[in-house]
Structure 1
Amino acid sequence: MIIVSACLCGINCRYDGGNNLDERVLKLLEEGKAMPVCPEQLGGLETPREPCEILNGNGLDVIDGKATIIGPVNNDKTAKFLRGAYETLKIAEVIGATCAVLKARSPSCGVSKIYDGTFSSTLRSGNGVTAELLISKGIKVFTEENLNDIKL
């Protein structure tokens, strides 16, 4: 079983109330191979919500308490993002997920590249907090951008 970002299945849970439908991810769900999750909703954030970015670090730094996740007017959302990451991990463990397909560049789900916390559309190296937590527990994490690398 695979954990997938719910927005990639067409579920309207993006920060702006929309989705990021990817037909390949939806097919995994329809075939019974995937479980959709939205870490941000699981953490208690509403939809729609203000966009957020990791300030002064990456997902690992958030987990270690060295970085925060903020909105554009410095509203600290770190606790809700952490709660969502741990709830996502619980679901992954319950269903025996060995890999995940998460939304690229998200402060929760991004893998390899995330926005830099300045709300200027600038990317930097790093993983989102949920991606980092799943990786730390041995779950292989992909995005829709490298979905073809998954061996099912």
Structure 2
Amino acid sequence: MSACLLGKKVRYDGGSLSVNNQVLERWISEGRIVSVCPEVEAGMSIPRKPAEIVDGSGNRVLDGKTDVVEKGGNMVSDGFIAGASVALELCKKFNIEIAILAESSPSCGSSLIYDGSFSGHRIPGMGVTAALLRRHGIQVFNQYEIADANKAIHATSA
């Protein structure tokens, strides 16, 4: 699960996106949660410049066809790929089949990301971590889909 959704102040702006949800609280009490912030795992600072994927989404970054760029132009694709790889290794280590990631993030967005113009406009697409996890068969949900993730957990454990 994205660390920012658990209240950890790891977002680019030093904030969090805390989710208050009974299902999530149960998962925490059951020890089901593994927390990760791909950018922080890749060694990026808190706070850090905002970053967006230019001309595409996470799959295109993984394929080397586009980049994640910080506001101001610095390319940070390698860091985002490294962070995604850490998240994937955690999934493998703990046999994780379902991930809850923060929507709109250039790492974690599962259905929407910012368009690369730093204008606040979002487009359909996945972040780098979401794309890598999905390539490896991990189901990825966002913070608004916790009920769906819970159903998927019970479907895979049945």
TM-score (norm 2): 0.91
Residue in structure 2 matched with residue 8 of structure 1 by the alignment: 5
Compute the displacement of 1:56 (Å).
Answer: 1.2
CA shift for structure 1 position 30: 3.5
For residues 133 and 99 of structure 2, what CA distance do their matches in structure 1 show?
A: 8
The answer for unaligned runs of 5 or more in structure 2 is 154-158
Note the C-alpha offset of 1:29: 2.5
Deviation sequence 1:57-84 (CA, Å, 0-9, x none): 1000000000100111011111100000
Between the aligned partners of 1:30 and 1:11, the Cα distance in structure 2 is: 17
Specify the alignment match of 1:82 in structure 2: 81
Aligned length: 149
Aligned residue identity for 2:19: D
Contact 1:110 1:128 in 2 (8 A): yes
Q: Which residue of 2 aligns with 1:107?
A: 106
Aligned residues: CA RMSD: 1.1
Q: Percent identity?
A: 42
Counterparts of 2:104 and 2:76, CA distance in 1:
17
Give runs of aligned pairs for residues 116-131 of structure 1, distance below 5 A. Answer: 116-131=115-130
Which TM-score applies when normalising by structure 1? 0.94
Q: What are the residue-to-residue correspondences of 1:135-150 with 2, within 5 Å?
A: 135-150=134-149
Match of 2:58 in 1: 59
Return the letter of the residue paired with 1:51: P
The answer to whether the Cα contact below 8 Å between 1:85 and 1:108 also exists between their aligned partners in 2 is: yes
CA distance in structure 1 between the partners assigned to 2:54 and 2:13 by the alignment = 20
Mapped to 1, the partners of 2:127 and 2:57 lie a distance apart of: 6
- Alpha-carbon shift at residue 43 of structure 1 (Å): 1.1
- 2:16 corresponding residue in structure 1: 19
- Whose Rg is larger? 2
For residue 90 of structure 1, give the secondary structure of its aligned residue in structure 2. Answer: helix
Give the Cα–Cα distance (whole angstroms) in 2 for the partners of residues 16 and 29 of structure 1: 25
